[in-house]
Chain A
Amino acid sequence: MGSSKRVLVVGGGIAGISAAVEASQAGAEVVLIEKQPYLGGRVSQMNLYFPKLCPPSCGLEINFRQLRNNSKITCYTQSEVHSISGEPGNYTVSITRSPRFVTDQCTACGACIPFCPVRRPDPFNYGLSQTRAIYFPSPAAYPPIFTIDPIDCLGEECSQCIAECPNDAVDLKMQPETFEIEIDSVVLATGWRPYPPEKIDNLGYASNPNVITNVELERLAAPDGPTGGQILRPSDQEPIESAAFIQCAGSRDENYLRHCSSVCCLASLKQVRYIRQQYPKAEIYLFYIDLRAPGRMEDFYLEAQQDPLLHLVKGKVGKVYPRNGESRIVVEAENVLTGRRIQQPVDLVILATGMVPQVPRLSGNLAADEHGFLVVENAEESAIFPAGCVRRPVGVAEAVRDATAAAMKAVQVVRG
């Protein structure tokens, strides 16, 4: 064997980190790049894993440790690939790294925070809370230092943070840098994003703050989330007495997102437990077309059926509208099993929106299926291996398995 393989992993979520660790353990030199200023991706935004119901820090921290102690992995956050050229075993990749405006001198002491005059919606909390323009991007910030939002920051005219920083760690003059690397193969683990709920105009997301999405509920339930883990009605921060889950919100729907994301049914059943844990007497309605709980996941579903205050209603919700003079929201559906139309008022509506593949914008076309998910090409022609949710909508365990498989393909690429 000659010199070790060089693998680029795009995406620092659970799939990308897994691929990077696995490839490095197989002897490859790995470059891991992540768009966000933190690692862990969507998993780090979850409250609990499914189905084990342990916090995501479990799996993530083990992986972070493997990354940190591994000299074979170079990690760039706030970086994006914009071109990959060449052939299997001989690719040139161009990467642009956005400025962080905060240097490694930062100790995350937070002295700057009270002095920043800007407030912006926190994307990590899906806009359910605000941060300053200088902020700690996530509990899994990598490197674990502050960062500055280049769009919302008032710039050098303000410079309050510079004045207040005891370590001189703020540098508003930082510029983006573009560099090229040579690699043998690529694992594309760019993941997914939630389907934009405001597009589903009959489900009231845009007009009613108490209509939220499944990913937003993860943040509301998470101890490090905007409410410290308390599930409250967003409009007035009051406790809830009832909630309705709307399955297939925009999914399996040719007007919106055609495919089934395969995990939302079980994710909602998991989230029913979040609510049940905090509200033992809450009436919870879950409207579905059909509940997909394959294999051993059926146990989870059967267990959910034991909850006497969980009403599983077969029938897709057609309308969501506010009730006159009340903060409650009415969801309207036909219960297919009873043939009755129901108008159910609830405090909180959760839209189980699906997963949209997040495909990087690269020059040259990546092969994709009819739904936009990337497909694995013939390894002799392309050593760019999609893995995880950019390839197929899957849960965490499946994404990790898929990433491992992709990493194994990546390290076996034969140089032309």
Chain B
Amino acid sequence: MSNAVLIQPDIAFTNQIIELGGEDVFKCMQCATCSAVCELSPAENPFPRKEVIWSQWGLKNRLLGDPDIWLCHNCGDCSARCPRGASPGTILSAIRRQAVWHYATPQFLGAWMNRAGFLPVLILIPAVLLLLALLVRDPLAALLGISSDHGPGMQYANLFPHWLLIGFFTSFLILSLVSVALGGLRFWRAVKRSDLLQTEQAPSKSLLSSFLTVVMDFLTHKRFGGCTVTATRKRAHLGIFYGFLALFLVSTWAVVLLYVLNPFMETPLPYPFSFWDPAKIIANLGALALVAGCLIAMVERIANTKTMGRSTEFDWLFLGILFLVGVTGLVTEGLRFAESVTAGYTVYFIHLILAFMLLIYLPFSKFSHAIYRTLAMTYAEQMGRRR
């Protein structure tokens, strides 16, 4: 070969891929059926065949800086056609899981996220933090001179006043976003450094217009439409995506309402929202979409192991939290309307623990795909690597 490359295999990395779900990686015989059947794989250096041999060889740096692992939507076309049952889709999932762990800060949380047995710790952290917040609630309110009285009737704000809840979540969310931004930055640098094509070709599109194209794709879920063997995945992800977006926007609106608009209004807009408030309707529909999407995704994962591959605790943790956040949110709301105080506060507290796990563990969980995938797809769009 004219351009000989000295390969430095990282066996530990290969073993970790095997451990994190890619246990069939050595079944691959490099026939390349996977790259040929994939609807998303580009014409030059298509995936996932090359990623599988890189995994066998333990080429850690190449894989961690490989944007292609994030172009894969794990629709399972490759795994269904794989003649050896090597399940390339699952291997790519395992590599993504590795990448998330690798880029996450602080590292110990990433390790906890990936070790079965640490789940109780992951639940205890928000539980303890939320209890601490409750302990400091009254002294802090006295110190800041805020009234803790939120009026008559059952109001969750009587447990967690808005200022405490928002202050608590915002501070942790900022930490989480800083962490994932750091991860994203390191990933972007790695992508640039490894330069998959090794041809130093100039980007064919500007960064901004590439990003906007990718966002438009997200909104329409166009890429998901290419999957042939698991058509329900698009529906599931659409439900989760728009459900989450709706809930996120309504929550933001509530904060804006409480702290930006209402202080300046003669007659403050009502909060909590009434059942028929447009914001509440959107939130309820969003929650239903989220729960339905999660249900479809979970059924798919259980029923379709051949195409979906084996689901790992990493998949279940994210999907499970999303699902439970939706369910406990709806139950919390229901119990408020039913004025069931004890049950209401209990479920609400659980809901807050789950919401914490969803948002604050974002950089370490599968949720971080929102960042890495966006970056990788933007890069691919820029370099003309998307079909």
Contact = CB atoms under 8 A, between A and B. Distances in A.
A10 B279 CA distance: 80
A202 B229 CA distance: 12
Contact of A248 (B31, B41, B42, B43): B31
A317 interface: yes
B37 A202 contact: yes
Contact of B83 (A254, A319, A336): A254
Given A254-B85, A289-B29, A336 B49 contact: yes
B29 A341 contact: no
Contact of B36 (A253, A318, A339): A318
Contacts of A254: 83-85
A256 B85 CA distance: 12
Nearest to A257: B83
Contacts of B50: 339
A391 interface: no
A316 B45 contact: no
B56 interface: no
A332 interface: yes
A332 B36 contact: yes
Contacts of A340: 43-45
A252 interface: yes
A137 interface: no
B225 interface: no
B30 interface: yes
Contacts of B34: 318
B30 A318 contact: no
Contacts of B43: 340-341
B107 interface: no
Interface in B7-62: 29-37, 41-46, 49-50
* Chain B residues touching A, majority SS: loop
Interface in A234-281: 248, 252-256
B81 interface: yes
A371 B43 CA distance: 36
B242 to A, nearest CB: 32
A311 B20 CA distance: 40
Given A318-B37, A319-B36, A341 B42 contact: yes
Nearest to B38: A318
Nearest to B42: A341
Contacts of A319: 36-37
A318 B46 CA distance: 13
A143 B81 CA distance: 47
A382 B321 CA distance: 62
A348 interface: no
The size bracket of the interface on A is 20 to 34
A41 interface: no
Contact of B33 (A314, A316, A339, A341): A316
A336 B48 CA distance: 12
B29, B41, B83, B84, most chain A CB atoms within 10 A: B83
Contacts of A316: 31-33, 36, 83
Nearest to B34: A318
B32 A255 contact: no
A315 B32 contact: yes
Interface in B81-124: 81, 83-85
A315 B44 contact: no
A202 B80 CA distance: 11
A289 B46 contact: no
A122 interface: no
A411 interface: no
Nearest to B85: A254
A196 to B, nearest CB: 17
A341 B387 CA distance: 12
Given A339-B45, A341-B43, A252 B35 contact: no
Contacts of A334: 32, 35-36, 46, 49
Contacts of B44: 339-341
Contacts of B37: 202, 318-319
Contacts of A315: 31-32, 35-36
A274 B30 CA distance: 30
B41 A253 contact: no
A293 to B, nearest CB: 18
Contact of B32 (A202, A253, A336): A336
A289 B49 CA distance: 13
A23 interface: no
Contact of A317 (B36, B49, B84): B36
A356 interface: no
B30, B35, B84: residue with the most chain A Cβ atoms closer than 10 Å = B35
A333 interface: yes
Contacts of A255: 81, 83
A289 B34 CA distance: 13
Nearest to A251: B83
B126 to A, nearest CB: 44
B81 A202 contact: yes
A341 B35 contact: yes
Nearest to B387: A341
A319 to B, nearest CB: 6
Nearest to B45: A339
Nearest to A258: B83
Nearest to A340: B44
Nearest to B49: A334
A178 to B, nearest CB: 43
Nearest to B50: A339
A328 to B, nearest CB: 18
Interface in A314-334: 314-319, 332-334
A341 B46 contact: yes
Contacts of A318: 32-37, 81
A319 B77 CA distance: 12
Given A318-B36, A333-B36, A341 B41 contact: yes
Contacts of B32: 314-316, 318, 333-334, 336
A289 B31 contact: yes
A334 B84 CA distance: 17
B201 to A, nearest CB: 15
A315 B50 CA distance: 12
A252 B45 contact: no
A340 B33 CA distance: 13
Interface string A372-390: 0000000000000000000
A151 B312 CA distance: 55
The 5 closest A-B pairs by CB, nearest first: A318-B36, A253-B83, A318-B37, A334-B35, A316-B31
18 contacts: A248-B31, A252-B29, A252-B83, A254-B84, A255-B81, A255-B83, A315-B31, A316-B33, A317-B33, A318-B32, A318-B81, A319-B37, A334-B35, A334-B36, A336-B49, A339-B45, A340-B43, A340-B45
Given A334-B35, A340-B44, 5 more contacts: A289-B30, A316-B33, A334-B32, A341-B35, A341-B36
